[in-house]
């Protein structure tokens, strides 16, 4: 999988299936199940390290997990998060951090936020580094935005989302994760920027693709399960105590549900 092939799939109306991944074994399983994009997310701070947020994750840790996933995958496209504190100071800092991740095997880096990040996105893209932006709920800024809450509900929030998406698209971002935003807003942004591969998480079905944290998709959520999450190990319509699907089968079910657009169900997962 390459960026031009992802763009081609989007142009044909094919949904893009993305999952987080942190090691070589799961990389092979997800790749074999047909996942288009593997995201080495700084969510590893939560699900691998047991931290309460993504903030403690370091660049060295992200590079290590990127290298592990790159060793295990066969064909899926590989995106890695730039962790907190490794790109905000200057575009030059972002370039040095992105180079570390690209050397470890990433094919694209992801950074959070709008506004000033457009300058950084442009700086990276001009130097040959593909960028995935991230708007809506941005976990690295969870303390500043007051917790894990839906973003862009009111008129001012919606206007800010649209303006940020436009500036990031103009700066050359190739992909945009929209997290916990109203489905109508995500659809509007996706339609306004057809060359931007929009990936939703808790943002309805109007985006070009979907992403989930792998552990959530496998029913391993610790604490309260987010509204937008589905446990793909459960056979639809089966009793609660019925045997579940294997990991490989669950991942394949996720891919199929994204592709046939039965996930997310906006009646259940929309905002």
Q: How many CA atoms lie within 13 A of 50 on its CB side?
A: 0
CA 180 → CA 78, 98, 199, 265, distances in Å?
23, 26, 11, 14
User: Considering 112, 179, 188, 266, which one is annotated as catalytic?
Assistant: 179
Please say whether the dihedral angle defined by the alpha carbons of residues 203, 208, 214 and 219, taken in this order, is positive or negative: positive
Task: For residue 119, indicate whether it is catalytic.
Answer: no
Decide if 27 contacts 271 (C-beta within 8 A): no
Q: Are 150 and 137 in contact (CB under 8 A)?
A: yes
13 — phi, psi (to 5°)? 85, 15
Please, is 246 exposed, middle or buried when counting C-beta atoms within 10 Å of its C-beta (0-12, 13-18, 19+)?
A: exposed
- 190 to each of 108, 162, 185, how far by Cα in Å? 20, 10, 9
The CA distance from 193 to 239, in Å, is 42
C-alpha to C-alpha distances, 68 to 21, 63, 132, 160, nearest whole angstrom: 10, 9, 21, 37
Tell me the catalytic residues: 179
């Amino acid at each position: 999988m390459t960026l031009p092939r992802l763009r081609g799939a989007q142009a044909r109306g094919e949904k893009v299936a993305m999952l987080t991944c942190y090691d070589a074994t799961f990389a092979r399983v997800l790749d074999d199940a047909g996942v288009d994009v593997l995201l080495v997310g700084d969510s590893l701070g939560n699900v691998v390290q047991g931290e309460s947020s993504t903030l403690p994750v370091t660049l060295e840790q992200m590079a290590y997990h990127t290298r592990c996933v790159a060793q295990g995958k066969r064909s899926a496209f590989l995106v890695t998060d730039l962790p907190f504190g490794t790109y905000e100071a200057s575009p030059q800092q972002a370039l040095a951090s992105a180079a570390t991740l690209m050397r470890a095997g990433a094919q694209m880096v992801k950074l959070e936020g709008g506004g000033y990040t457009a300058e950084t996105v442009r700086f990276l893209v001009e130097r040959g580094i593909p960028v995935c932006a991230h708007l809506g709920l941005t976990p690295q800024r969870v303390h500043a935005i007051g917790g894990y809450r839906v973003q862009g509900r009111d008129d001012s929030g919606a206007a800010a989302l649209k303006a940020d998406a436009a500036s990031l698209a103009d700066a050359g971002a190739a992909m945009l994760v929209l997290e916990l935003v109203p489905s109508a807003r995500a659809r509007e942004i996706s339609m306004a920027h057809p060359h931007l591969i929009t990936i939703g998480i808790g943002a309805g079905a109007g985006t070009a693709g979907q992403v989930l944290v792998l552990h959530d998709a496998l029913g391993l959520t610790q604490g309260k399960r987010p509204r937008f999450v589905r446990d793909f190990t459960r056979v639809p319509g089966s009793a609660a105590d019925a045997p579940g699907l294997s990991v490989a089968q669950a991942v394949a079910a996720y891919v199929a549900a994204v592709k046939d657009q039965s996930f997310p169900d906006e009646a259940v997962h929309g905002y």
